[in-house]
Amino acid sequence: DMEEENATLLTEFVLTGFLYQPKWKIPLFLAFLVIYLITVMGNLGLIVIIWKDPHLHIPMYLFLGSLAFVDAWLSSTVTPKMLINFLAKSKMISLSECMIQFFSFAIGVTTECFILASMAYDRYVAICKPLLYPVIMTNGLCIRLLVLSFLGGLLHALIHEIFLFRLTFCNSNIIQHFYCDIIPLLKISCTDSSINFLMVFIFAGSIQVFTIGTILISYTLVLLIILKNKSVKGMQKAVSTCGAHLLSVSLYYGPLAVMYVGSASPQADDQDMMECLFYTVIVPLLNPMIYSLRNNQVIDSLTKIFKRNV
C-alpha cells in the first residue's frame, strides 16, 4: 500500500517556530536565552533556599519547592530546542525526539495543575481551620499529595503518548509550533485522529475542571470566612497568604484552558503560539519572583544564606 509506505518515510518534522524577520534572529535568541537562564536560576535557587532552611520544611514551602522544580522542568523541556532553532538552518526534529519532548511537557504541565490545586487546599486549611492546620496539613499528607500530583502527570502523559503511537504522518511534516505539542501533531496526521482529540478533550478537560474546581472552592470558602469575620487584620493576612498563589493560578490557567479545551477538536483553528509561550516560558520565569518577593520567610532565609557565605 503506497500510502502506508509514504507514511513510514515521515519520521522527521520541521518546527516552524515563530514568524519573524531574519534580522530579529539574534536578538530573539539572546532574549530567550536570558529568560531561560533567569528561570532556571530563579527556580533552582528557590529550591536551594527551601532545602537549606529547616524552618521552611513545612507543607507550604514543600509545595512551593515542588512547583519551582516543575517550572524549571517545563522551561527546560521547551526552551533549549527553541533556542537551537533560532540559530539552526534546519529546524528538524525526529519523531522520537518529538515524542520524548511532548511526553516530558505533558508530565510537567499536568503535574503543575495538580500542585496548584494542592496549594489552594493548603491555603484553605491555613485560613479556615488555623487551629487544626498542624493536624490536617502534615508533611506526610503534603508528600502524598505531591506524589499523587507527579503520578497523575505521568499517567496523563502516558495515555496521550500511547494514543500518539497509533498515528502515521504522510501528508505533512510541518509542525506549526515552537515545540512538539499534541494538537499540532494531530492536525498533520494522516490517520484518523478523532479519538486522540476526544482523549485530549476528556482527560485534559477533566483535569482542568477538577483542579480549577478545587482552587475555586478553596478560595470561595476563604472569601466567605474573611467576609464573615470582617477583620481588617484577617483580611490582610489572607491577601498576603493567598495573593501570590492566586496571581500564579490566573497567569497559568487562562492560556492553558484556551489552548487545550478550546482547541480539542479537529476543526479548531491554529492556536496563537503566544498562549503556549506564556505558560511554558513566561510563567516559570515569573513564579519564583511572585512567591519570593511577597514572602518574608523566603527573603529572611535568603539573607541568612548570603550572610553565612559572605
Q: Which pLDDT value is given to residue 267?
A: 41
pLDDT digits 0-9 by tens, 28-43: 999 999 999 999 999 9
Kindly state the cell numbers that stand for 11. Answer: 519520521
Q: Which range has the worst mean pLDDT, 187-191, 196-200, 227-231?
A: 227-231
Least confident range from 98-102, 116-120, 140-144, 294-298: namely 294-298
Counts for the chain of helices (H) and strands (E), in that order = 13, 3
Mean pLDDT of the chain: 85
**Number of alpha carbons in the 13 Å side-chain half-sphere of residue 27:** 5
How far apart, in whole angstroms, are the C-alpha atoms of residue 55 and residue 195? 49
- The torsion defined by the Cα of 294, 234, 250 and 100, in degrees rounded to 10, comes to 70
Q: Give the model's confidence band at 105: pLDDT under 50 very low, under 70 low, under 90 confident, else very high.
A: very high
Alpha carbon distances (Å) from 178 to 92, 120, 132, 222, 273: 11, 31, 47, 39, 8
Does residue 2 register a pLDDT over 60? no
Could you give the angle at the alpha carbon of 100 between the alpha carbons of 94 and 101, nearest 5°? 85
Residue 286 to residue 35: CA distance in whole angstroms: 10
d(CA 40, CA 62): 18
Domains of the chain with bracketed CATH = 11-305 (1.20.1070.10)
Q: Say if pTM beats, i.e. exceeds, 0.85.
A: yes
Residue 6, pLDDT score: 44
pLDDT at 307: 72
Q: What is the maximal distance between C-alpha atoms in the chain?
A: 74
- Which residues make Cβ contacts (< 8 Å) with residue 46, sequence separation at least 6? 64, 65, 68, 288, 291, 292, 298
Q: Are 125 and 137 in contact (CB under 8 A)?
A: yes
> pLDDT value at position 273?
78
Q: Is the pLDDT of residue 64 over 90?
A: yes
Residue 268: pLDDT over 80: no
Region 289-295 average pLDDT: 78
- Per-residue pLDDT band at 107 (split at 50, 70, 90): very high
Beta strands in 150-207, from DSSP E residues, in sequence order: 174-175
Average pLDDT over residues 182-203: 90
Amino acid letter, residue 44: L
| Residues 173-189 pLDDT 10s | 888 888 999 988 888 88
